[in-house]
Amino acid sequence: MSLKKTLGILLAVCFLLSITVAAVSAKELPSMAGKETCKTVEKAKNQMKGFSTNIEKATLENNNFRKVLYTAKHNQLVLMSLKPGEDIGIEVHEKTDQFLRFEEGQGKCIINGNEYEVGSGSAVVVPAGAQHNVINTLKTGSLNFYTIYSPPVHKDGIVRATKAEAEANPEEFDGVTTECN
C-alpha cells in the first residue's frame, strides 16, 4: 500500500473518530451538550429527519395541558388541551410569534384586549410581545388545539398533564432540539 493511500485512510479514520467523539459527548455529557456541539453534530451528520403526523388526530387525542411534539431550531410544535372553564393564563412571549389552530371545542382568545371567538377550524396568530390568553368557554368538553412557537419556548419533549403541573415546572427551551436528543 502506498504512503499516500495510507495517509488518506488515516485521515478518514481520524475524521470519523472526531465525529463519533463529538456525538458521544453531545449525548452523554450534558454539560457539553450545548447549542454549538449540537449544531456541529447536526451539520456533520446532515441527516435531520423532520417530523410528520396526522396533526388533527394527534390534537383530538391529546388530553394533556401541554405536550411538545417537535422542536426545531426556529420553531416548535405543541399540543394543548383545556378543560371546561380552564385557560392557559395571561402570558407574553417577548420574542416569540405564536400560531394557534383549534380542532375541537369552543373558546375565546384575547390578544391585547381584542377578543376572538374560536372553535373547530379557527386559527389565530399572536405576535411577539402581545399579551394573550386562551379560554375554554364550554361547561363540558375540552378545547383542543395545537400551537407553533417561532422560536421555541418550551424544553423539547415536555409533557404536562395539567395546568398546575405546567406552572410548577415551566421547563423553558434550553437550545436542545428534537434532532439533537
Residue 85 lies in a domain: yes
Residues 23 and 64 in one domain: no
Residues 23 and 76 in one domain: no
Query: Of 2 and 70, which is predicted with more confidence?
Result: 70
Residue 38 lies in a domain: yes
- Whether the pLDDT of residue 10 is over 80: the answer is no
Residue 50 lies in a domain: no
**What radius of gyration, in Å, describes the C-alpha atoms of the chain?**
21
Residue 142 lies in a domain: yes
Residues 75 and 155 in one domain: yes
Report how many domains make up the chain: 2
State how far the Cα of 129 lies from the Cα of 92, in Å rounded to an integer: 6
Q: Quote the pLDDT of residue 9.
A: 38
Residue 13 lies in a domain: yes
Confidence of residue 47 (pLDDT cuts 50, 70, 90): confident
Q: Which three cell numbers stand for residue 77?
A: 410544535
Residues 131 and 84 in one domain: yes
C-beta separation of 165 from 87 below 8 A: no
- Pick from 37-46, 136-145, 146-155, 167-176: least confident: 37-46
Residues 27 and 106 in one domain: no
Q: Quote the pLDDT of residue 40.
A: 52
Q: Quote the pLDDT of residue 41.
A: 54
Q: Quote the pLDDT of residue 86.
A: 99
Q: Quote the pLDDT of residue 11.
A: 34
Residue 118 lies in a domain: yes
Residues 85 and 116 in one domain: yes
- Whether the pLDDT of residue 94 is over 70: the answer is yes
Residues 72 and 151 in one domain: yes
Q: Quote the pLDDT of residue 6.
A: 37
Distant-in-sequence, close-in-space partners of 17: CB < 8 Å, separation ≥ 6: none
Residues 33 and 68 in one domain: no
Residues 70 and 157 in one domain: yes
Residues 123 and 150 in one domain: yes
Mean pLDDT computed over 130-142: 98
In the chain, what percentage of residues exceed pLDDT 90? Answer: 70
Residues 11 and 34 in one domain: yes
Q: Which three cell numbers stand for residue 87?
A: 385557560
For residue 106, give its domain range.
55-180
Distant-in-sequence, close-in-space partners of 126: CB < 8 Å, separation ≥ 6: 93, 97, 98, 99, 100, 109, 111, 132
79: domain CATH number?
2.60.120.10
Residues 139 and 113 in one domain: yes
State how far the Cα of 46 lies from the Cα of 129, in Å rounded to an integer: 34
Confidence of residue 21 (pLDDT cuts 50, 70, 90): very low
- Record the pTM: 0.76
Q: Quote the pLDDT of residue 180.
A: 82
Query: Of 131 and 36, which is predicted with more confidence?
Result: 131
Distance separating the N- and C-terminal Cα atoms of the chain? 41
Quote the mean pLDDT of the chain.
Answer: 82
